[in-house]
Amino acid sequence: MRRCVSVAIVGVALVVAGCGTPSRPVSTGSVRGSETAVIQQALLDVHGDHSAIFAPFRREQGTVPCRIGVGGPYPGKVIRATCSTTVKAAGQDKVITFTETWNAVDFRMVHSPATGQLTAVWTITVDPAGQLVGESHGGAFPPQAAT
């Protein structure tokens, strides 16, 4: 099932998942390739190779400490976080999940809790032919989307 998902980023609606057939496959062949190749090609196809949103994430599976640029005037602010990248099978599809968690004291929007951990999650789903079939974002407003 193809989904349309809109995410408000700094007051601007950004369509992050297309409806209908994507213009090109996410992977060159099938999603049976290595998880690393699936992650790299999905990011390239969905967001281009210079997306600041996905800059903190590894291009292979795993969870690591990471640093997230928050924006602002040079040199900007950087916060410490934990970034996780996973690839799981969902039937014949592959689901790539990017999760980042940071301390609310370091960055939060007005509507977010002032203490504790905040988390943002992105999910990209591709079918066995490598076609994008879904993308979504949930959780807290991501620090790297602040300008």
Instruction: Assess if residue 1 is contained within a domain.
Output: no
Task: Give me the pLDDT at residue 48, please.
Answer: 61
How many structural domains compose the chain?
1
Task: Give me the pLDDT at residue 11, please.
Answer: 29
Local structure of 79: helix, strand or coil? strand
Peptide bond into 75 cis (omega under 30): yes
Instruction: Report the chain's terminal Cα–Cα distance, integer Å.
Output: 33
Instruction: Assess if residue 16 is contained within a domain.
Output: yes
What's the domain range around 108?
6-145
User: CA-to-CA distance for 112 and 140, rounded, in angstroms?
Assistant: 7
Instruction: Assess if residue 71 is contained within a domain.
Output: yes
Task: Give me the pLDDT at residue 52, please.
Answer: 75
C-alpha closest to that of 143 among 69, 83, 67: 69
Q: Please state whether the predicted TM-score (pTM) of the whole model is above 0.85.
A: no
- Provide the residue-wise pLDDT of the chain in tens; the chain has 147 residues: 333 322 232 222 232 333 233 333 433 344 445 778 778 767 766 666 557 788 888 888 999 999 998 877 777 789 999 999 999 999 999 999 999 999 999 999 988 999 999 999 999 998 888 778 888 999 999 998 886
Instruction: Assess if residue 133 is contained within a domain.
Output: yes
Instruction: Assess if residue 113 is contained within a domain.
Output: yes
